Amino acid sequence: MFCPLHQTELCHLGEVMFQDQLKEKVRPLIDLIDEMRYLGIEKQLNLPAIVVVGDQSSGKSSVLEALSGVALPRGTGIVTRCPLLLQLCYEKHNVWKAEISYCEQMHEFTEPSKVVNYVEEAQNDLAGEGDGICEELITLKIKSNTVCDLTLIDLPGIARVAVKGQPEDIGEKIKGLILNYIKRKETIILVVVPCNVDIATTEALQMAQQVDVEGTRTLAILTKPDLIDPGAENTILDIVHNRTIPLNLGYVIVKCRGQKQIDENMSIIDVMTVFIEKITQLSKGDIITEGNLFVLMRKDYKQWMGILTNSIENYQKHVQEVAAEYDKTHRGSELPGFSNYNVFRQVAQTLLGELVNPAMMTVHSVREMVQKQFDILSKDCFEGYSFLQEFSKRNIESIQDQQSQMAMGRIKEQFEMEMLVYTQDEIFNIQNKLDSETTDYTEQDKRTNYPELLKAYYEIVVQRMGDQVPMLIYYFILKEGAKNVCSEMLSLLYEDDIDKILQEDSCIEMNRAKLKAQLKCLLHANEKLNNL
């Protein structure tokens, strides 16, 4: 029975077929160019190439690692000391293999972790130990089902100052080597520029402009967007939108993994596990840092207790004023007793009501502090995973909103219960004790003692609120908040569309779709021209 495909399935099938056809067309051309380069034809004929250039520590290695999926030599100073021809070959079989060749040597291996050692060994053989450079080409060919068919040439980073063991003219030598590659009109120049420097002063881009004045074959990659200085975001946006230094191929901004994640080879599950462990420790007070969360919370709680202490003093003053006014009003008449419930309730409710706003302010202060610490953990643990950072940030904010509302609701309930002044029996217990000790009190004496008795009751209320408010804040905002954040993050692992963790920005997807459509039209036009 024929079952028609869904429209989206047809689109996906068409896209896969198009990509397969494109690979079939592109792969032979790339193989031909690589073979000609291997045979040395490049000495007589300029071959098409993509050359990667940049200043030292610009992030070139990180960009190449993102493309190849393997670690390359990295660090400070000159890391790439010889031109590295990186050949990426797509293979359908799920087997990773590579070979590195230079001069008359060639090594084959099947472990991605050995790439760094082989490249460093080749550089030491060609350029010697230390920080010297060599113009001899090292070829690294990687075959995998996780790479696309692409060939790049990585060149040494531009050095501004010679360090110990390097010739004084090391900078000029590197520039000469770079210029020899990028001056060829068949070369596409891939300039890597970090976001935390002035792009106009980047030597790599200046060199590209010298040989490609109109910017027709220069593509700039902006790295390290997390190091952008506060307030400089608009400047970077102007650069990305091609308004500062126009390039026909434009700009691409990327965020690669940090050095710590690379050293630890952390997967998404690993970083999520670390995040959950840290946020759990944070909620228990186990993480001791300069800005220890519990220490910071105690400052807010101390401020809250100061407000309560002042409230006790205000309460005593208020009670004495009410008692004096009451005595003045009823002087000369029989006094039924200042323990009148309505009078006492009015005083208690008035002063308790003045504590509600400070309590809410304490909730807000602690909530902001906890959310800030959670966000810091998220940014630290999910570095390089922009979707996870955004997902965790949204969830942390949403959960903290919910938890702070619950905390404020419970605190308001606590105040409402205290305003019932239901436990005034304690005053009478104190009064009975005093009456048993002294039996010859006059009514005036009792009126004089009532402010002290009411103060004793209010101190009990204040002590209760002094314990309850921090307890409720800790439970809802920190303990339950951390628990809910961990639960939400773990649930992400069981989603059917977990691939969206590595989802690109929608603008990139739209641009890719646009370029694919343009490419399809161009290929169709080229086919028409070939058939003429």
Residues 87-122 pLDDT 10s:
888 888 778 899 998 888 889 998 888 888 888 888
pLDDT reading at 396 higher than 60: yes
User: Do 251 and 273 reside in the same domain of the chain?
Assistant: no
The structure tokens 């393997």 sit at 70
Q: Which residue type, as a one-letter code, is found at position 300?
A: D
**Encoded tokens for 28:** 């032979």
Question: Does residue 432 fall inside a structural domain?
Answer: yes
Domain boundary residue, one of 208, 235, 256: 256
Domain boundary among 256, 276, 309: 256
In a domain, 100, yes or no: yes
Task: Specify if 199 maps to a domain.
Answer: yes
Tell me how far apart the alpha carbons of residues 343 and 313 are, in angstroms, rounded to a whole number.
19
Residue type at 416 in one-letter notation: E
Least confident among 64-68, 215-219, 513-517, 519-523: 519-523
My answer on whether 243 and 300 are in the same domain is no
* Residue at 38 is within a domain: no
pLDDT in tens, 477-493: 888 888 888 888 887 77
% of the chain exceeding 90 in pLDDT: 4
3-class SS of residue 246: coil
Pair (343, 444) in one structural domain = yes
Instruction: Name the more confident of 1 and 339.
Output: 339
Q: How far is CA 239 from CA 123, 233, 235, 242, 495, in A?
A: 35, 10, 6, 5, 37
The mean predicted confidence, pLDDT, of the chain is: 75
How many independent structural domains does the chain possess?
2
Select the highest-mean-pLDDT range: 9-13, 373-377, 398-402.
398-402
Higher pLDDT, 459 or 287: 459
Kindly state the average pLDDT of the residues 246-250.
Answer: 88
Domain of residue 341 covers 268-509
- The three state secondary structure string of 110-123 is CCHHHHHHHHHHHH
Question: Do 292 and 402 belong to one domain?
Answer: yes
Specify the range with the lowest mean pLDDT, choosing from 44-48, 261-265, 442-446, 458-462. 442-446
- For residues 12-40, average pLDDT: 64
The least confident of 171-180, 281-290, 452-461 is 281-290
Asked if residue 517 belongs to a domain, the reply is no
Q: Does residue 205 sit in the same domain as residue 68? A: yes
Q: pLDDT by residue (tens digit) across 129-169? A: 777 788 888 889 988 888 888 888 888 888 777 766 677 77
Cα separation, 469 vs 297, whole angstroms:
12
Q: Nearest-5° angle of CA 73, CA 508, CA 74? A: 5
Give the rounded distance of the alpha carbon of 429 from its chain centre: 59
Q: Could you give the CA distance from residue 185 to residue 91 in angstroms, rounded to a whole number? A: 31
Comparing 164 with 207, the larger pLDDT belongs to: 207
> Is the pLDDT reported for residue 289 higher than 60?
no
Q: What CATH number is attached to the domain comprising 154? A: 3.40.50.300
Q: Is the pLDDT of residue 181 over 70?
A: yes
Find out whether 384 and 257 touch, Cβ atoms under 8 Å: yes
Same domain, 276 and 219: no
Say whether both 426 and 301 belong to one domain.
yes
One domain for residues 290 and 410: yes
Three-state secondary-structure class, residue 193: strand
Q: Are residues 156 and 116 in the same domain?
A: yes
Rounded Cα distance, 303 and 477, in Å: 18
User: DSSP assignment of 4-46, as one string?
Assistant: PPPHHHHHHHHHHHHHHHHHHHHHHHHHHHHHHHHTTGGGTSP
Instruction: Write down the pLDDT at residue 332.
Output: 41
Same domain, 98 and 146: yes
Asked, for residue 5, whether it belongs to a domain, the answer is no
- Of the residues 198, 221, 256, which one is the last residue of a structural domain? 256
Check residues 32 and 17 and name the one with the higher pLDDT.
32
Span 270-292, average pLDDT: 66
Lowest mean pLDDT among 38-47, 240-249, 338-347, 368-377: 338-347
Query: 225: closest CA among 243, 208, 237?
Result: 237
- Look at residue 174 and tell me if it is in a domain: yes
SS3 call for 165:
coil
Over residues 168-177, mean pLDDT:
84
CATH of the domain at 438: 1.20.120.1240
- Counting residues of the chain whose pLDDT is more than 70, the rounded percentage is 69
Q: Could you tell me if 359 and 250 lie in one domain?
A: no
* 75 vs 226 pLDDT, higher one: 226
CA 217 to chain CA mean position, Å: 33
Question: Residue 433 has what pLDDT?
Answer: 53
Q: Is residue 115 part of a domain?
A: yes
The mean per-residue pLDDT over the stretch 321-341 comes to: 51
CA atoms within 13 A on the CB side of 350: 13
- Would you say how long the chain is, in residues? 532
Q: Which two tokens stand for residue 100?
A: 């590195």
* pLDDT for residue 63 is more than 80: yes
Residue 341, beta-bridge partner list: none
CA–CA distances in Å: residue 429 to residues 335, 423, 451, 452, 459: 21, 11, 15, 13, 15
Q: Are residues 306 and 215 in the same domain?
A: no
Tokens of residue 406, six digits: 């619950």
